[in-house]
Amino acid sequence: MKKRILPLKTLLRACPVCLNTSEGFVLHTQSFILPEGHLLAEAKQYDIVSCCACGFVYADTPVKQKTYDKYYADMSKYEMRYSVIESARYASQAKTISTIVRDKNVSVMDVGAGNGGLLLAMKKLGYKNLTALDPSEKCVKNMLKNGIKAQTGSVFRHKVREKFDLVILSHVMEHLVDVDKALSALIAMTADKGVLYVEVPDAAMYAENHVVPFYFFDTEHINHFEEVSLINLGFRHGLRAFHLGRNQIQVSETTKYPVIHIAYKRDGAVTDWRKASGNKILKYIALSNKGSASQLVIDDLIKKNKEILIWGAGNFTMRMLNNSNLSKCDIIGFVDKDPKKHGTKILHKRVYPADHVKKISPETIIVVCAAVFSEQILKELKAMKVKNEVVVLK
Ligand SMILES: [Zn+2]
């Protein structure tokens, strides 16, 4: 197979793993049509790059950490109550952690805890000393109601002064611009003999868990960690990786999501620096570039020349509006269950709550545009006894 020569670029964002600021290889350019006034407007297009020095693959976004901090504080979708599927996922995650840190009397800190789902699952396993930090005030209130010592704050800005035996960072590090600063802050929170547990999506397994094209490249996930990069990151901070595992988490009834978890100790790194290859992410990009069958469905919608209402105002829709002819359809609006999105506008069309589907003309076609929840949306439409034609994009 002929090896493609990748273009080089001067980096906008320093490599989060090795801090290289010079150049990176451009693996892919990702674009979105974002809602009007979106806080991450600058992220409407970014390159996926591979660091020339260490091979780490990440989004070379111009958006600063400060902007992301504001975005997560204002827009948190994690405020919504978790489903049965999520509870099962937290239970399995807690079980994994309990095999790494067996002592139930340790002090635990979950940074970016959301609604505290993981800590509640750990409580069920017998852990007693549980503390949480989250930027969303609503999430903190929910956790306090559930008996978790929760404080408002982020990994960068918080009032936590004590040190913990176990510090957890679960599905947070893939969101951070300033990984280096975050890791220093986490180390400061970890007791001398303590453990730092990090869980992130496993970029080496994206291709094996293909959902829709470029599913893993969204506006929020800007770091794509593989085993080598996680070890390198710890290495540079004097952290020794003593446990590494992979898993798949269920994100909807039909979709699984690959994760990698690593546990570090503060007793000095012993690993040698290795360069990450990024080859598995290139394989995933090649697979995504093959596109999806949706193109034909969209062309058919354009031919029908009927009004459409799009159910789903998330990353999948934002990519589709940019990468396909979907925006050429006669879109009358969008529907989404996230109340934070209601009233916002995409391409000058309003985002409505779910019950809006009952208010549209019977001639309007409902287009389900969601990467992992389309089955669930179809069930809801059925339950609402909607008679409109429904088309699903995949
Ligand atoms: Zn690097």
How much distance in Å is there from the Cα of 113 to the middle of ligand 1? 28
- Angle, helices 117-124 vs 84-100, to 10°: value is 60
Report the alpha-carbon distance of residue 126 to residue 286 in Å, rounded. 45
User: Does residue 225 register a pLDDT over 60?
Assistant: yes
How much distance in Å is there from the Cα of 20 to the middle of ligand 1? 5
Report the alpha-carbon distance of residue 145 to residue 147 in Å, rounded. 6
User: Does residue 77 register a pLDDT over 80?
Assistant: no
| CB neighbour list of residue 49: distance below 8 Å, 6 or more residues apart | 9, 11, 24, 25, 26, 27, 57, 58, 59, 60
What's the pLDDT at 3? 58
CA 252 to chain CA centroid, nearest Å: 14
Beta bridge partners of 386: none
Nearest to 314 by CA among 253, 256, 359, 373: 373
Report the alpha-carbon distance of residue 391 to residue 197 in Å, rounded. 42
How much distance in Å is there from the Cα of 30 to the middle of ligand 1? 20
How much distance in Å is there from the Cα of 23 to the middle of ligand 1? 9
How much distance in Å is there from the Cα of 313 to the middle of ligand 1? 33
Report the alpha-carbon distance of residue 72 to residue 218 in Å, rounded. 15
User: Does residue 79 register a pLDDT over 60?
Assistant: no
How much distance in Å is there from the Cα of 244 to the middle of ligand 1? 21
How much distance in Å is there from the Cα of 194 to the middle of ligand 1? 27
Report the alpha-carbon distance of residue 69 to residue 58 in Å, rounded. 19
- Name the 3-class secondary structure at 295: helix
What pLDDT, in 10s, does the model give residues 249-291?
888 888 888 999 999 998 877 767 788 888 999 999 999 988 7
What pLDDT, in 10s, does the model give residues 298-317?
999 999 999 999 999 999 99
How much distance in Å is there from the Cα of 15 to the middle of ligand 1? 5
pLDDT confidence band for 46 (50 / 70 / 90): very high
How much distance in Å is there from the Cα of 302 to the middle of ligand 1? 44
How much distance in Å is there from the Cα of 267 to the middle of ligand 1? 23
Token pair, residue 363, equals 């001639």
What's the pLDDT at 141? 92
User: Does residue 76 register a pLDDT over 70?
Assistant: no
| CB neighbour list of residue 267: distance below 8 Å, 6 or more residues apart | 193, 240
Print burial letters for 226-251: b (CB count within 10 Å at least 16), e (below 16): bbbbbbbbbbebebbbeeeeebbbeb
- The overall average pLDDT reported for the chain is 91
Domains in the chain: ranges and CATH: 75-272 (3.40.50.150), 294-393 (3.40.50.720)
How much distance in Å is there from the Cα of 18 to the middle of ligand 1? 4
How much distance in Å is there from the Cα of 58 to the middle of ligand 1? 9
How much distance in Å is there from the Cα of 95 to the middle of ligand 1? 33
pTM for the model stands at 0.88
How much distance in Å is there from the Cα of 1 to the middle of ligand 1? 27
How much distance in Å is there from the Cα of 96 to the middle of ligand 1? 29
| Percentage of residues in the chain having pLDDT higher than 70 | 96
3-state secondary structure string across 240-255: EEEEEEEEEEECCCCC
How much distance in Å is there from the Cα of 197 to the middle of ligand 1? 22
Q: Are 102 and 95 in contact (CB under 8 A)?
A: no
User: Does residue 80 register a pLDDT over 60?
Assistant: no
| Percentage of residues in the chain having pLDDT higher than 90 | 75
How much distance in Å is there from the Cα of 305 to the middle of ligand 1? 49
How much distance in Å is there from the Cα of 67 to the middle of ligand 1? 23
Token pair, residue 211, equals 């959902």
How much distance in Å is there from the Cα of 213 to the middle of ligand 1? 26
Q: Assign residue 268 a region: left if phi > 0, alpha if psi is -120 to 50, beta otherwise?
A: left
What's the pLDDT at 254? 81
User: Does residue 83 register a pLDDT over 70?
Assistant: no
What pLDDT, in 10s, does the model give residues 284-299?
999 998 877 788 899 9
How much distance in Å is there from the Cα of 235 to the middle of ligand 1? 13
Task: Give start and end residues of each alpha helix (H) in 306-389.
Answer: 315-323, 374-383
How much distance in Å is there from the Cα of 5 to the middle of ligand 1? 19
